[in-house]
Amino acid sequence: MEPLRILGICCNWSPFACYNAAGMTGMSMPANFHLIRVMCIGRINQALILRAFEFGADGVILLECTDEDCRYGPGPEVGHENVHRVRRILHLLGIRQERLVERTFGAHEKEKLVQTLWNFTKEMEKLGPLMAKNGRKREAVKS
Amino acid sequence: MHRSSSTSNLKKAVLLVGSGYGALKVAQDLSQSGLPLVWVTKAIHFLEHPGGAAPFTDYPEDLDFQFRPLYLQVTRHPLVTALTHARIEAIKRGPDGYRAVITQDPVYVDYDLCTGCGRCMDVCPLQDSSHPPLRRTPAYCPSRALDLDKRKPAPCRISCPLGVNVQAYVALTAASRFDEALDVIRQDNPLPGICGRVCHHPCEDACLRSSLDQAVAICSIKRFLADREMAERRPRLPGTQKPGRPERVAIVGGGPAGLTAAYFLNREGFSVTIFEAHREAGGILRMGINAFRLPRAVLNAEIQAIEDAGVEIRTGAPVRSIRDLIDQGFHAVLLCTGAHRDLRLNIPGEDAKGVYGALEMLKKLNTGGKPNIRGNVVVIGGGNSAIDAARSAVRLGAESVTICYRRKRSDMPAHGSEIRRAQEEGVKIEYLAAPVRIVSRRGRVTGLDMIRMKQGAVDESGRRRPEPVKGSEFFRPADTVIIGIGQQPSLSETGLGKELITGQSGTINVDVRLSASQAGVFAAGDAVTGPDTVVGSMSQGRRAAARAVEYLTGTSPAWGALPDESRGAGEHLEIFEDTPRKFRPEMSRRQATARSRDFKEVELGLTAEQTVAEASRCLHCSSCCECRVCETVCNDIGAINHFKPRELMTVSSPAVIVAGDEEIAHLDLADKERVYRVGDFRSATDLVNVLIAGSASAGQAMADCSSLRTNSVPCQPVTIASEEEVRFGVFTCTCNGTLATPAALERIRDMALRTPGVMHSELIFSACHPRGADQIAAAVREHRLGRVILASCVCCPLEFQCISCNDQRNRARIHLFERHGLDRCRFETINIRDHLGSPDLSEEMLVERMRNFLREAFIRARVMGPLRQSTTKIGNRILILGGSEVGLSCALNLNMQGFKVRLVHRCSLKGDQKVPAEVRKRPVSRIAEDSITHVEEALIEGIKGHLGDFTVTVREDGVRKNFHADIVCLADMNVLPLAIPEGMFGLKKFYRYNFKFFHSPQIGVYRVMPRTLKRVTAFQAGAALAAHVATTAAEAFLKDHELSPKVDRKRCRGCGRCVEICPFDAVKLVANERGFYTAEVLRYNCVGCGGCVGRCPVTAMDMPYFTNRLLEEIVVGALARKL
């Protein structure tokens, strides 16, 4: 069985500080976990999350700051809304909603972050690989 | 941190003392408003809270982390000189302000160079002790740099006449690093095996451990180290360390002084020849000290080591004339002939047969002869030679041996342990008895006439002078008498006495520089001082050698000076009360009956376990022991300098801001003019209070210091045209070799080079080091690289700092983009430190991960577009609405700072019937009439525009007017509603760590909230507001955010969801000519978070750099990789 692919999207601030600190102290992360970093989770629109599933992610986890901690303001709110809406679309597509998850962190919680990643990986393994995968080919890219 | 380039130059800057949040806010306000600043604290880093107060419990533990980006920005601001480990020595008030002298204690690890790799900690022998000297600053500090705690030198080191670094070799021994410990000793002492047996160890006498239990057995530790090496191989001394010099130096005498001088001169590169009169070298070590104390094997081996290092020793070669030596071609001569003639008692009968001098007898014994010792032996004297002679007499077959000493036991100069060993071997000692006459029959001694002594007055040696007791004469029979009362030099025997001036007791006269009466001739050791300790003579030999080097080359060698107490700062480490008392082991030795039959060594030395245990008793008085092993792993970086001196700086400042009262307690600064206190941190209940108090102090200081202000508009960044053929370069930082094994790193470098499009791939020892950045810049230019991939700890090439950012990452960017001027858009950065740092990665997994990162980096690098940036100019017109106390305070302050202030005293808003009562009743105080524009009363109709270009429409006396301003301040409660712009969808949530107390949702409009006045006084609030205004206005320009999004008009359907979410009021709906609304981003308000982009349901918004296309490519690329 092919190993599962987990995609994480984190913002530059509290979650990345945790990830950074975890990396510096040599904590081990799941091997098939890939992280993308953006300025703020507010930057992520629904299209991108769906793209992830389209191209083979078995699980997507959004790592955000807590509500009061977003230094720009909108991040967690946009994150909640997008996750909520995309989950409903996943349901329509026949994909388990639990494959899309969001979690919040403070800047000092590196143990919690690493634990969360391992837990999520375990849960995805329980669900198994995404059955609704397509051929992972793209059509002509519009510039 | 930043240092002044010259210690004597005067620096004109605002002076800030203290650490903590308040100080950070002050520093931010001052620097961002264009004022140069010198920030002084005695702490190691700037978030140490004054008085040790714990951070506020209202906030979660990550409060200090949240301050990290600010800390980083402020400490690397070009106007800030940040000094840790520093204090104000003295401060005086003069006509142009305060003049302060600041001392910075030596900071041994350079903050600007240290990469935080940690290799020094790995090799430090004290890393596992209870007080490791190398420590990282806490995680929330923005730098991973290390701090070295080194106090003033330990007393053991200072008391050693040779300056051997005792603490270092004891620390290395405790870590079982025996070879390195021996190397440390040999830096200063070439004869460890000898000294480990015969030295009088002043180090142990000075050892501070004795105040707890007993001194550390330093001498025995040294002996163990030497013996251990000797058991495996011949002792190896460092040889010539400098390029060979043509000069030849002659040393007369191969004893301790001569051997030591030869060793150092040889190290310095000279050709050295020792002339030794006897058949074997060693001097007093061979002649005067017996084999049972100093085995011949050890002595010979260490002398051989000096020969192996390159010194020529000619034995059986007595020197009769210095002139001869100079004629033979020697450029300098050192006389180390020692003191070998026994002193005489000068009593009748001394020349009888059977009477010997102690040294005379020992010399005969140690050169293979057999002295005629028999029957009852009496030894006169109490020094080590007398004891040695007595113990030798036992071994040579005497029937009885008695030592007669004219003072008491406690006055005997011999080592206490020597006396005890002698007594164990059967030697008897009689005190307070002195000989008067030696009785002989037929020329052969039969006994001595003795007299009892009593103690009289104290003499110049500090001991009580013995006086004979009348009538107490007695006869002591003896078959042999040995007189051991001291020695003196005997130059007349060698004939050298004719060429030199000698003193009364035959010692050579030398001046302070150890030169004898002829130029180029030096003297050292017992020949100069009379009988001295072994290590004392060695020390003099070394000093004479240093003088000879000065004479021959004109410069003094590094080893010429000993470490003295004035180096280093800080008190010795305290002894903790829970350190258990532990006593020294007693060295094992042979039993008395067995050992008194032969001359084999009596003391048997400590075992390895005993030695390590004993070395672990060391208290590490000076914390860092200066073994300098850390420097060897920091060669490329060069961040460690153990000899860094104190730095002095003089600062002239119109005002002083105090954020930590303890730091100025020793100065008389309280209640002085223009000294602003941030406040008592300990009693502060709320973080926001502290921060506002900080801003208030900053504001007040700004009013005094505006003459120091600088501002400049940055030049536009030049965009480089994209190259036709994209030439890639890949640079991988090894972080001083700690990132991965050399094999893995080379594979990574080669793998990158094989990728199509890559013209150049290189490993850099450190990307955050100036030389590393120089390497990269040089390679970019040389190979004409259009795109660069930098694999290091740097996450992104952008200009701002996020929480994860630290000083090292920032430095790399400063060096590459600001100093070298490389284009940010050309660089793609991958943070491999966090991804590859996990220790359980095998080399295969590491290389595979790197392959994936590189592939993704290439995708991103091809898709990257230019980063746009432009600036908006801001003038200095400030409009203050409301003549309350806050408003007046703010107006006055800004006026003093040089801004153009217009103050409207009584404001009313549209819809108010009239001006509110409490506003109307307020007197209009026309402060600073000639520079502030006063408007008594006006009705405010509306505020339009943006920061730098506000138009405020008012009605004054019924006439409509437009006031133009760059910044608007709302200082009265009744005008607060103006802060909320028209059409705003309610108040947005603010980030709780922003601490923008005076900001309103509209950028450029400031307001004072009622709750602020509960925290500080109105005057302070006004000053704090002025500080905030100044940080915006004084900069005189506003940069657009690099990441502000762009709207695709064709796709936007005007739903307004983006406008709704933006807390910065940076998105507006604008009608086009046909009346359809589309969104537009106001670039100067935008901060680049992308919240609007995420909300857009039709993907009509896109952001530069983090484009939709880029994120898609990353996602697709990440998921497509083969696992």
**DSSP per-residue string spanning B808-835:** HHHHHHIIIIIIS---GGGEEEEEHHHH
The whole-number average pLDDT for the span A37-57 is 88
Q: What is the pLDDT of residue B55?
A: 64
Residue of A61 and B138 predicted with greater confidence: A61
B538: pLDDT strictly greater than 90: yes
Cα(A25)–Cα(B837) distance, rounded to whole angstroms? 8
pLDDT of residue B837: 59
The pLDDT value given to residue B6: 44
**B565 CB-contact burial (10 Å; exposed 0-12 / middle 13-18 / buried 19+):** exposed
Minimum mean pLDDT range among B10-14, B507-511, B1008-1012: B507-511
Give the pLDDT mean for B260-285.
Answer: 94
Which residue of B1094, B1097, B1115 is in closest CB contact with A36?
B1115
d(CA B550, CA B556): 5
Higher-scoring residue by pLDDT: B49, A5: A5
pLDDT at B718: 55
| Contact between chains at A24 and B833 (C-beta distance less than 8 A) | yes
Residue B985: is its pLDDT beyond 60? Answer: no
Which whole-number Å values give the CA distances from B18 to A91, B28, B659, B690, B993, in the listed order?
58, 14, 5, 13, 22
Q: Is B151 helix (H, G, I), strand (E, B) or coil?
A: coil
Residues in chain B: 1123
Enter the tokens of residue B113. Answer: 């160079």
Cross-chain CB nearest to B1115 (options A55, A141, A143):
A55
Q: In chain B, which residues have their Cβ closer than 8 Å to the Cβ of A39?
A: 1043, 1088-1090, 1106
ipTM confidence? 0.86
Residue B754 has pLDDT above 50, yes or no: yes
Q: Which residue has the higher pLDDT, B918 or B20?
A: B20
pLDDT tens-place string over residues B647-665: 999 999 999 999 988 888 8
Q: What is the mean pLDDT of residues B45-54?
A: 74
Predicted TM-score (pTM) of this structure: 0.85
User: How many residues are given for chain A?
Assistant: 143
Nearest chain A residue to B846 by CA: give it.
Answer: A31
Q: Which chain A residues touch B66 with a CB distance below 8 Å? A: 69, 107
Report whether pLDDT(B870) > 80. no
Q: Which residues of B869-878 are buried (b: 16+ CB within 10 A; e: fewer)?
A: beeeebebbb
Helix or strand run (H / E) with residue B562: none
- The encoded tokens of residue B767 equal 């990307």
Q: What is the per-residue pLDDT for B274?
A: 96
Of A19, A21, A72, the CB nearest to B139: A21
B601 — alpha (psi -120 to 50), left (phi > 0) or beta? beta
Strand B248-252 and strand B332-335: the pairing is parallel
For residue B1, the model assigns a pLDDT of 42
Mean pLDDT of B396-419: 90
Q: What is the pLDDT of residues A48-61, one digit of tens each?
A: 999 898 888 899 99
Which position has the token pair 């008012």? B954
Task: Provide, as residue numbers in chain B, all residues whose Cβ is less than 8 Å from the Cβ of A74.
Answer: 1061-1063, 1089, 1091-1092, 1094-1095
Q: Is pLDDT of B699 > 60?
A: yes
* CA nearest to B68, candidates A28, A71, A48, A104: A71
- Which range, of A45-49, B104-108, B109-113, B1034-1038, averages the lowest pLDDT? B1034-1038
| A40 to chain B, closest Cα gap in Å | 6
Is B541's pLDDT higher than 90?
Answer: yes
Please report the pLDDT score of residue B838 as a whole number.
64
The residue of chain A nearest to residue B1062, with distances taken between CA atoms, is A74
How many CB pairs below 8 Å do chains A and B form together?
172
In the prediction, which pLDDT does B789 show?
A: 92
Six-digit token pair at A29? 């992360």
Would you say residue B524 has pLDDT above 70? yes
- For the stretch B347-391, pLDDT in tens is 998 888 899 999 999 999 998 888 888 899 999 999 988 999 999
Looking at CATH, the fold of the domain delimited by A6-127 is given as Rossmann fold (3.40.50)
pLDDT of residue B566: 67
Strand order of the β-sheet with B14-17 is B80-83, B37-40, B14-17, B656-658, B675-677
- Please report which confidence band the pLDDT of residue A135 belongs to, taking 50, 70 and 90 as the band edges: low
Model confidence at B987, pLDDT cuts 50, 70, 90, reads very low
Candidates B139, B840, B1109; nearest CB to A28: B840
* Cβ-defined contact of A72 to B1063 (cutoff 8 Å): yes
Task: Read off the pLDDT of each residue in B445-461 and give the average, rounded to a whole number.
Answer: 87
**Cα distance between residue B158 and residue B564, in whole Å:** 6
Q: Which one of B803, B988, B1119 has the shortest CB-CB distance to A73?
A: B988
Share of chain B above pLDDT 90, in %: 46
Looking at residue B32, what is its pLDDT? 87
* pLDDT average, residue stretch B620-624: 92
Mean pLDDT to the nearest integer, B257-274: 95
Whether the per-residue pLDDT at B110 is higher than 50: the answer is yes
For residue A120, the distance in angstroms to the closest alpha carbon of chain B comes to 17
Average pLDDT over chain B, rounded to whole? 86
| First-last CA distance in chain B | 45
pLDDT tens, position by position, B1041-1071: 777 888 998 889 999 888 888 877 788 888 8
| Pick from A28, A39, A77: CB nearest B838 | A28
Q: Helix (H, G, I), strand (E, B), or coil: what is residue B429? A: strand
The CA-based dihedral angle spanning residues B166, B168, B170, B175, taken in that order and rounded to the nearest 10 degrees: -170
A55 touches chain B (CB under 8 A): yes
Predicted local confidence at residue B199, as pLDDT? 93
Do B1094 and A72 make contact, defined as CB atoms within 8 angstroms?
Answer: no
Q: What percent of chain B has pLDDT over 70?
A: 92
Distance separating alpha carbons of residues B556 and B568, to the nearest angstrom: 22
Give the residue, B7 or B538, on which the prediction is more confident. Answer: B538
pLDDT at position B681 over 60: no
Between B819 and B917, the more confident residue is: B819
Q: Look at strands B271-275 and B248-252 and give their pairing.
A: parallel
- Over the stretch B145-158, which tens digit does the pLDDT of each residue have? 999 999 999 999 99
Closest to B505 in 3D by CA, of B343, B356, B381: B343
3-class DSSP state for residue B432?
A: coil
The pLDDT assigned to A143 comes to 45
Strand-pair category, B376-380 with B14-17: unpaired
pLDDT for B202 equals 95
pLDDT of residue A124: 92
How many CB atoms are located within 10 Å of the residue B1080 CB? Answer: 17
Please list, in sequence order, all residues whose beta carbon lies within 8 angstroms of the beta carbon of residue B595, skipping any fewer than 6 positions away.
Answer: B292, B425, B589, B602
Average pLDDT over residues B778-787: 90
Mean pLDDT of the A71-77 span: 81
CA distances from B741 to B270, B817, B847 (A): 42, 29, 11
Comparison of pLDDT for B1003 and B543, the residue scoring more: B543
Mean pLDDT of B1008-1028: 88
Quick one: pLDDT at residue B395? Answer: 93
Question: Rounded to a whole number, what is the distance in Å from the CA of A25 to chain B's nearest CA?
Answer: 8
Chain B touched by A45 (CB under 8 Å): yes
Cα B207 off chain centre by: 25
Q: Rounded to an integer, what distance in angstroms lies between the CA atom of residue A57 and that of residue B1083?
A: 35
Count the alpha carbons within 13 Å of B161 in the hemisphere toward its beta carbon: 20
Mean pLDDT to the nearest integer, B654-680: 85
